[in-house]
């Protein structure tokens, strides 16, 4: 199967239903989305298609980017763009094969293909189908499993390398806010113009697509590290930390264990060995946010998948970046909010939460994106930071006072994470509504902030008291101590008025807010 020529993808059609689609047909306005049987596969397919467009069809600058956003390429144009890369995208070949090791030695392990699934080692099976280990995968599912593992690879024991972004990275992709946007628009929003990437020219294609050359192995004395300078920064999209090769010797026919296609060619095993490419140094993947070391001494650290499950807590860092660079927004996002700026977009955040090689959860969420004029960016981010800090304080106050009402010795009781989480969930809509207002504010006087702060403080106060009552009344009645409850509720009210991060907001409100006559 050639991944640049055949219709191996499933598209979701504007007329409803699904159909087979090839990468050369991505510009066809009939396709609204990509379908995949697993959410982690779908996230990986998006990155595959974005990476392919990035290496084969990148625009020169924002002007060309916009032209192509509005006038998608024809089938012929994309086919011509992918032609020089065609030889690198064969799933099976005597020579280079997609994301597989070119020169795997004979003495390697043979493993069932289901070991490629990142949740295979997980004891929790809440998120994915988990077929029996002797099942096989169709060619399309094998490709997606291989791709998903290579770009998200968790740690796996000695000499087994993690992905270029570490184990279980967070990916953040832009999506058009328009729900009727085409697949092309969804992908193209994430392709970065050449002048913004400012990369050196590609000398060898194998510097970008590592499977075209023998692997830069890392397991013996002659093993080596692979910092970005040693290959090409575009390899970030095509990283290959695992040495894997499809094993054709056990291929037969049957039903696919993941997509349930019947009577298809089934791949049952792959061969593998430790000591794959060891990505070190200052790699920065354009689709992932990174935290920077304050002193600039340590390499950037990628955000991890669990951050997609933290609601609006990390909104500022993921969308606009924090002053502290904890984290900085992904390159694709910062380029969009500063240079591209339209159309209206959302941010799709997803990734695995991993505990070493064990997957705990798959997170998948979307956040609103606001493009802010540069002259008000500072006061805007400062204000949003104040709201987020106050939310952080309220969540922990609720946690503390609910425990104080529940337990005689709250200090000895463990964490009750559902309590602060209920605040983050309950206040999300309030926060986003105020964010909409702040995004169009001119910030020329503090008085304009007063009504916004006031609504935030009053609405979250109501929420806090409701949640306190809900949690406290939900404890078994015989354990309730009314005196303790009243004391804790009074402390909660006091904290809402005079907490460290809340007090300054109240001061602005009290100084500037005038009730309408
Ligand atoms: Zn399948």
Q: In sequence order, which residues have a C-beta less than 8 Å from that of residue 130 and are 6 or more positions away?
A: 119, 120
> What is the DSSP pairing of strand 301-302 with strand 290-291?
antiparallel
Distance 85 CA to ligand 1 centre (A): 25
SS3 for 65-78 is HHHHHHCCCCHHHH
Inter-helix orientation angle 75-82/39-56, to 10°: 80
Q: In sequence order, which residues have a C-beta less than 8 Å from that of residue 421 and are 6 or more positions away?
A: none
Mean confidence (pLDDT) of the chain = 94
Distance 265 CA to ligand 1 centre (A): 10
Taking the C-alpha atoms of residue 13 and residue 30, their distance in angstroms, rounded to an integer, is: 6
Name 372's bridge partners: none
> What is the DSSP pairing of strand 345-355 with strand 301-302?
unpaired
How far CA 474 is from CA of 138, 400, 421, 441, 480, in Å, comes to 50, 16, 16, 41, 10
> What is the average per-residue pLDDT within 119-126?
63
DSSP annotation of 263 reads: S
Of 463, 393, 383, 454, the closest CA to residue 427 belongs to 463
Distance 73 CA to ligand 1 centre (A): 29
Token representation of residue 451: 């009504």
Distance 137 CA to ligand 1 centre (A): 5
Distance 350 CA to ligand 1 centre (A): 22
Q: Say which range, 250-254, 265-269, 359-363, 476-480, has the weakest mean pLDDT.
A: 476-480
pLDDT at 132 > cutoff 70: no
* CA geometry: angle 389, 334, 146, nearest 5 deg: 100
> What is the DSSP pairing of strand 358-368 with strand 345-355?
antiparallel
> What is the average per-residue pLDDT within 261-285?
96
Question: pLDDT by residue (tens digit) across 33-69?
Answer: 999 999 999 999 999 999 999 999 999 999 999 999 9
User: Which ranges of 201-339 would DSSP assign to H, the alpha helix?
Assistant: 315, 331-335
Distance 108 CA to ligand 1 centre (A): 26
pLDDT at 114 > cutoff 70: yes
Q: Say which range, 130-144, 327-341, 488-502, has the weakest mean pLDDT.
A: 130-144
Backbone angles phi, psi at 207, to 5 degrees: -70, -25
Distance 144 CA to ligand 1 centre (A): 9
Distance 146 CA to ligand 1 centre (A): 13
Distance 115 CA to ligand 1 centre (A): 15
- Yes or no: say if 285 and 236 are a contact pair by the CB < 8 Å rule: yes
- Give the pLDDT of residue 219: 84
Distance 360 CA to ligand 1 centre (A): 24
Taking the C-alpha atoms of residue 318 and residue 4, their distance in angstroms, rounded to an integer, is: 32
Compute the CA torsion angle 218, 221, 222, 228 (nearest 10 deg).
40
Question: pLDDT by residue (tens digit) across 73-111?
Answer: 999 999 999 999 999 999 999 999 999 999 999 889 999
Q: Is the preceding peptide bond at 380 cis, omega within 30 degrees of 0?
A: no
Distance 345 CA to ligand 1 centre (A): 32
- Yes or no: say if 117 and 147 are a contact pair by the CB < 8 Å rule: no
Distance 155 CA to ligand 1 centre (A): 26
Q: In sequence order, which residues have a C-beta less than 8 Å from that of residue 131 and are 6 or more positions away?
A: 114, 257, 258
Confidence of residue 126 (pLDDT cuts 50, 70, 90): very low
Distance 134 CA to ligand 1 centre (A): 15
Question: pLDDT by residue (tens digit) across 155-178?
Answer: 888 889 999 999 999 999 999 999
Token representation of residue 157: 């024991």
Ligand 1 is an ion; residues with CB less than 5 A from it: 138, 141, 256, 258-259
Taking the C-alpha atoms of residue 57 and residue 84, their distance in angstroms, rounded to an integer, is: 11
- Yes or no: say if 453 and 505 are a contact pair by the CB < 8 Å rule: yes
Taking the C-alpha atoms of residue 168 and residue 172, their distance in angstroms, rounded to an integer, is: 13
Distance 183 CA to ligand 1 centre (A): 22
Distance 267 CA to ligand 1 centre (A): 10
Question: pLDDT by residue (tens digit) across 413-434?
Answer: 999 999 999 999 999 999 999 9
Distance 133 CA to ligand 1 centre (A): 15
Distance 228 CA to ligand 1 centre (A): 34
Distance 282 CA to ligand 1 centre (A): 36
Distance 143 CA to ligand 1 centre (A): 9
Name 90's bridge partners: 2
Distance 140 CA to ligand 1 centre (A): 6
Of 191, 370, 199, 169, the closest CA to residue 288 belongs to 169
Distance 41 CA to ligand 1 centre (A): 11
E strand spans, 259-304: 264-266, 269-273, 278-279, 290-291, 301-302
Distance 130 CA to ligand 1 centre (A): 13
């Amino acid at each position: 199967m050639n991944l640049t020529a055949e219709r191996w993808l499933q598209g979701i059609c504007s007329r409803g239903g699904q159909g087979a689609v090839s990468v050369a047909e991505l510009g066809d306005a009939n396709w609204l989305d990509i379908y995949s049987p697993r959410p982690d596969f779908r996230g990986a397919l998006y990155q595959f298609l974005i990476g392919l467009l990035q290496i084969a069809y990148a625009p020169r600058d924002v002007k060309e980017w916009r032209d192509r956003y509005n006038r998608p390429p024809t089938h012929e144009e994309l086919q011509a763009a992918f032609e020089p890369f065609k030889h690198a995208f064969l799933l099976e070949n005597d020579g280079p094969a997609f994301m597989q090791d070119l020169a795997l030695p004979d003495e390697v392990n043979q493993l069932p293909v289901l070991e490629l699934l990142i949740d295979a080692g997980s004891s929790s099976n809440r998120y994915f189908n988990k077929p029996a280990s002797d099942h096989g995968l169709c060619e399309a599912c094998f490709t997606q499993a291989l791709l998903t593992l290579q770009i998200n690879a968790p740690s796996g024991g000695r000499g087994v390398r993690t992905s270029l972004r570490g184990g279980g990275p967070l990916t953040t992709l832009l999506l058009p806010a328009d729900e009727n946007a085409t697949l092309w628009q969804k992908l193209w929003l994430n392709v970065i113009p050449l002048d913004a990437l400012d990369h050196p020219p590609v000398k060898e294609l194998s510097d970008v697509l590592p499977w075209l050359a023998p692997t830069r192995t890392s397991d013996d004395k002659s093993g080596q590290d692979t910092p970005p300078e040693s290959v090409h920064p575009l390899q970030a999209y095509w990283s290959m930390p695992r040495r894997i090769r499809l094993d054709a010797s056990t291929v037969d026919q049957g039903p696919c264990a993941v997509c349930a296609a019947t009577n298809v060619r089934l791949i049952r095993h792959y061969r593998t060995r430790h000591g794959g490419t060891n990505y070190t140094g200052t790699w920065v993947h354009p689709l992932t946010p990174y935290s920077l070391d304050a002193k600039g001494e340590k390499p950037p650290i990628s955000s991890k998948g669990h951050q997609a499950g933290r609601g609006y807590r990390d909104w500022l860092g993921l969308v606009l970046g924090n002053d502290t660079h904890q984290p900085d927004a992904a390159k694709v996002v910062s380029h969009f909010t500063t240079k591209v700026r339209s159309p209206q977009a959302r941010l799709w955040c997803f990734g695995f939460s991993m505990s070493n090689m064990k997957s705990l959860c798959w997170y998948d969420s979307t956040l609103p994106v606001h493009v802010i004029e540069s002259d008000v960016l500072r006061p805007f981010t400062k204000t949003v930071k104040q709201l987020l800090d106050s939310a952080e304080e309220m969540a922990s106050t609720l946690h503390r006072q609910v425990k104080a009402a529940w337990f005689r010795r709250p200090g000895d009781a463990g964490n009750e994470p559902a309590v602060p989480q209920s605040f983050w969930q309950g206040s999300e809509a309030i926060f986003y509504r105020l964010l909409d207002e702040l995004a169009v504010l001119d910030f020329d006087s503090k008085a304009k902030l007063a009504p916004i702060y006031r609504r935030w403080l009053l609405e979250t106060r109501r929420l806090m008291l409701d949640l306190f009552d809900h949690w406290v009344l939900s404890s078994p009645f015989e354990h309730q101590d009314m005196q303790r409850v009243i004391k804790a509720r009074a402390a909660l009210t006091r904290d809402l008025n005079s907490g460290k991060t809340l007090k300054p907001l109240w001061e602005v409100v009290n100084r500037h807010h005038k009730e309408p006559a």
